[in-house]
Amino acid sequence: MYDPSMRVLTVLELLQSREEVTGAELARRLEVSPRTVQRYVARLQDLGIPVEGRRGVGGAYRLKPGFQLPPLMFTGEEALALALGLRALTHLGLHALAPAAQGAGAKLTRTLPHALRDDVQALELSVQLDASPWVVGTDATLLSVLLRAVRGQCAVAFTYAAPRTPPTTRRADVYRVVHLDGRWYAVGHCHLRGALRSFRLDRMQALSVLDEPFSPPPDFDALAYLRSTLPERAAHDVSVWLAAPPELLRGHVSGWHTDLSPENGGTRLRARRDNLSSFAAFLLGLGCDFRVDSPPELRAEFGRLAQRSAALAHYTDP
């Protein structure tokens, strides 16, 4: 026996494959009454699919001319990928899309067969995604406009506000948009600098698309370019035991290249850091006992900090 959701999807598949299908044929193919076919059509219309009907003898249904809908038949892995992707949007800094993600998830669940629907609902109840505090929020509308400019190969104009510098008005041919290490970047040719540049989307304002077409370089690797321009980080592998449980440290310890796990009544902190001096000062500021197991260079930093502290303690204002 057909699942009712599968019957609704079958109606949609038939409408997509034929210019017009009679109600009688739909009833015969689905082994249901014409009145039930009307209910299935109404369900599709409730989902926003423009099904048009012709009443009377030989009445038929068709999709609105020009309307195309991607297939709604998903495998178990496809449904899982879609559900996880919708939940992960906020972890890309696109918090404004959370209501849209909820709506899309609800539509996805409604159109799935019962078995897949149960799997997706189990995911909602069973999976927790931890939001990193280092993901920078991004304006979803700005990202949408920027992607439209990239697709149309049109230049953009915007105000760029970098830290400790006055805002500047920029024009750029954006070749690609990249998400890297919790931030969104636009990468392309900056008209002001006359060279390749990257711009953080969270620092872009008043973005507009210009009627100025451009041709991007073929096979441009924006991610490789961006990685080559960002400062080298995480040069040292750090392993420290802290005399405090992980739940007390979370929120106080940066999540950047960091792992916290319980160990011997305390916490094992494993991280990658390039600036050991600032990390040593950070550890002292946590207010709990700790033991540095590696690297040796980190232990040496505490000696330098002790010397500086002693010098400052004996300093007198002339």
| Ordered per-residue pLDDT tens for the chain, 318 residues | 455 677 887 888 888 878 888 988 888 888 888 889 899 999 888 888 889 988 766 688 998 887 766 555 677 777 778 887 887 776 777 877 777 777 777 777 777 777 777 777 777 666 666 655 556 778 888 998 999 999 999 999 999 998 778 999 999 999 999 988 778 899 999 999 999 999 999 999 999 999 999 999 998 999 999 888 876 555 688 999 999 999 888 778 876 668 899 999 999 999 888 778 888 998 998 989 999 999 999 999 998 888 888 887 765 555
DSSP letters spanning 224-240: HHHHHHSPP---EEEEE
Under a CB-based contact definition with an 8 Å cutoff, are residues 266 and 285 in contact?
no
What is the chain's alpha carbon radius of gyration, rounded to the nearest angstrom? 29
Superfamily of domain 236-313 in the CATH hierarchy? Malonyl-CoA ACP transacylase, ACP-binding (3.30.70.250)
Please give the angle made by the CA atoms of 227, 229 and 233, to the nearest 5 degrees. 65
Q: According to the 3-state scheme, what is the secondary structure of 178-190? A: EEECCEEEEEEEE
CATH topology of domain 4-63: Arc Repressor Mutant, subunit A (1.10.10)
Residues 6+ apart with CB under 8 A from 155: 149, 171, 172, 173, 174, 191, 209, 210, 212, 213, 214
> Which residues lie across from 242 on neighbouring strands?
267, 290
Handedness of CA 161, 167, 169, 173 (dihedral sign): negative
Q: What is the pTM of this model?
A: 0.54
| CATH number for region 140-229 | 2.30.30.520
Q: Count CB atoms within 10 A of the CB of residue 235.
A: 12
CA angle 172, 176, 179 (to 5 degrees): 115
Say what the pLDDT of residue 205 is.
Answer: 94
Boundaries of every domain in the chain:
4-63, 76-126, 140-229, 236-313
HSE (CB half, 13 Å, CA atoms) of 217?
9
Distance CA 217, CA 294 (A): 45
**CATH topology of 4-63 equal to that of 236-313?**
no
Query: What per-residue confidence (pLDDT) applies to 195?
Result: 96
Measured distance CA(256)–CA(182) in Å, rounded: 10
Q: Degrees (nearest 5) of the Cα angle 175, 179, 88?
A: 135
Single out the residue of 82, 80, 181 nearest to residue 132, CA to CA.
181
Q: Are 272 and 236 in contact (CB under 8 A)?
A: yes
